[in-house]
Amino acid sequence: MSPETQAATIGRPPGFVFRNSNSGRSGVHVSELYCEGVSVAALAKRYGTPLYVYSGSMIRERYETFDHAFRDLPHTVCYSVKANSNLSILRLLAKVGCGFDVVSGGELLRVLAAGRRAAKRVVFSGVGKTQEELRAALKAGILLFNVESESELSAVAACAQGSRKNAPVALRVNPDVAAETHPYISTGLRQHKFGVPLREARFLYAKAAGMPYLSVRGVSVHIGSQITDVAPFRDALSRVAELVRELRRDGHQIDYVDAGGGLGIAYDKPEPSDFSRCAASYAQAITEPLRSLGVRLLLEPGRSILGPAGVLITSVIYEKANDGKRFLVVDAAMNDLLRPALYGAYHEIIPVRSNPVARSQVVDVVGPVCETGDFLARDRELPEVKERDLLAVLDTGAYGMVLASNYNTRPRPAEVLVTGKSVRVIRRREKISDLLRLEL
């Protein structure tokens, strides 16, 4: 793979680009991966591997691009905290006025730690909110509860009455819209655990309106994640728009429509156009059915903001061959990046230093965990690399570190945030002593 090809693969300024490096011993020109103004190889040398590296400028740019795409309709962008919940990243987003979508009490506490004023821009989603979590959200004064069942509606009402605090609610409706994505992250069909059927919505809204301390404020919908065709979003919001009209005819005040998130990214190739075009197409599909309703739109992007803004750096430990089958054993494993093992997900993998005359090889990139499912790539064509060389696993800013575990008693990686030439450790590398500390 030539430097030009690699630059096309990862050339997403201002985040990750290849720059000319010194020639090798043979005089061959070599290119080196940079995160903004900092050498990725230098980061690996200083902080070790596996290592998550994020571009602060890229996070801000993608958030602002997404926000700008919806400029023609009143809206609030509520970043989906489950995509990447690092406190420094939440603080970065809070400072530019972003709201947040949380799905647990722990995520709510993270948002409050990042900036207490952000509570007014928080929506609380999820099918299994506990009473402790509900009380915490009421105390914080969040923007909206996205209620997902009749039982939860009663629980919110009870907690609100006990706290003597008004609870603003929206019902998450299930529009029964199919989306082309992995079945584990599809959420908009009737066989999924999320939301209430559209046909039951009017009954539940009437019930909510009769409950003290509940304030019906909106309608919520979310059909899944990693969706790259905007048509399902348009279909879902068209059904929601009709429901809003019905609810208003029933006498309900509907101020908000929460359109959820789900906009996908191109893991296996560069984005077909710049992100602004992708965001604009998504915005048009979402807003077209809602323009005449006079509602405030709530949006929950996660992956589309953070995904391309992060990479996982890993070192090659061993080269190995079994009867012609070739393996690269690296120091990152399924506990560091679960998506390939969990979903069979594809992540582009490239050498941190590119040699244009390197031969290509077909390999499995695997980790040290004692599972056959511990792989980052299978039958992947890569430029030939050697032991101790560095590889970058791309598009791991979302659902990377947040899904990491300590399986095989492996400490989780460090995380660093780069802005220009400034580098900050935003999570230190765990030690074995950290893992043992809570055990008796």
The yes-or-no verdict on residue 274 having pLDDT over 50 is: yes
Token pair of 201 as six digits? 């919505």
Token pair of 325 as six digits? 């089958």
The average pLDDT across 354-379 equals 93
Q: Is 35 a catalytic residue?
A: no
Residue 152: phi, psi to the nearest 5? -65, -35
The average pLDDT across 375-388 equals 96
Question: What CATH fold (topology level) applies to the domain 56-303?
Answer: TIM Barrel (3.20.20)
Please state, rounded to an integer, the average pLDDT across all residues of the chain: 91
pLDDT in tens, 141-180: 999 999 999 999 999 999 999 999 999 999 999 887 655 5
Bridge partners (DSSP) of residue 145 are 124, 169
* Closest CA relative to residue 304, chosen from 1, 20, 70: 70
Query: Please, are residues 86 and 416 in contact by the beta-carbon 8 Å criterion?
Result: no
Centroid of chain to Cα 414: 18
Name the 3-class secondary structure at 361.
Answer: strand
Could you tell me the end-to-end alpha-carbon distance of the chain, in angstroms, rounded to an integer? Answer: 51
Does this model's pTM top 0.95? My answer is no
The yes-or-no verdict on residue 394 having pLDDT over 50 is: yes
Amino acid 52: pLDDT: 98
pLDDT in tens, 300-346: 999 999 999 999 999 999 999 998 899 999 999 999 999 999 989 99
**85-99, 172-186, 343-357, 391-405: which has the minimum mean pLDDT?**
172-186
The yes-or-no verdict on residue 225 having pLDDT over 90 is: no
| Cis bond before residue 270 (omega within 30° of 0) | no
| Reported confidence tier of residue 5, pLDDT bands at 50, 70, 90 | very low
Query: Please, are residues 31 and 7 in contact by the beta-carbon 8 Å criterion?
Result: yes
The yes-or-no verdict on residue 185 having pLDDT over 60 is: no
Beta-strand pair 310-322/325-330: antiparallel
Amino acid 30: pLDDT: 83
d(CA 339, CA 375): 10
Q: Annotated catalytic residue: which of 35, 78, 159, 370?
A: 370
The CATH 3.20.20.10 domain(s) of the chain lie at 56-303
| Reported confidence tier of residue 193, pLDDT bands at 50, 70, 90 | low
* Closest CA relative to residue 279, chosen from 76, 13, 92, 63: 63
d(CA 271, CA 52): 21
Query: Please, are residues 406 and 435 in contact by the beta-carbon 8 Å criterion?
Result: yes
Query: Please, are residues 70 and 285 in contact by the beta-carbon 8 Å criterion?
Result: no
Q: Percentage of the chain with pLDDT > 90?
A: 79
The yes-or-no verdict on residue 187 having pLDDT over 50 is: no
Query: Please, are residues 363 and 328 in contact by the beta-carbon 8 Å criterion?
Result: yes
DSSP, residue by residue, 149-194: SHHHHHHHHHHHHHHT--EEEEEEEE-----SS-GGGB--STTSSS
225 vs 191, which has greater pLDDT? 225
Amino acid at 437: R
The yes-or-no verdict on residue 184 having pLDDT over 90 is: no
* Closest CA relative to residue 24, chosen from 316, 354, 391, 388: 354
The yes-or-no verdict on residue 103 having pLDDT over 50 is: yes
The CATH classification of domain 3-55+308-436, taken from the options 2.40.37.10, 3.30.930.10, 3.40.50.1820, 2.30.30.90: 2.40.37.10
Query: Please, are residues 262 and 222 in contact by the beta-carbon 8 Å criterion?
Result: yes
**10-24, 197-211, 294-308: which has the minimum mean pLDDT?**
10-24
Burial (CB count within 10 angstroms: exposed 0-12, middle 13-18, buried 19+), residue 244: buried
d(CA 107, CA 386): 41
pLDDT in tens, 19-48: 987 655 556 678 999 999 999 999 999 999
Across 180-230, the runs of DSSP E, i.e. the strands, are 196-197, 214-220
Token pair of 198 as six digits? 């559209």
The CATH 2.40.37.10 domain(s) of the chain lie at 3-55+308-436
* Closest CA relative to residue 225, chosen from 62, 82, 54: 82
| Reported confidence tier of residue 186, pLDDT bands at 50, 70, 90 | very low
Residue 348: phi, psi to the nearest 5? -60, 140
Token pair of 111 as six digits? 């948002």
CB atoms within 10 A of CB 190: 11
d(CA 214, CA 203): 15
Amino acid 192: pLDDT: 53
Bridge partners (DSSP) of residue 415 are 52, 427
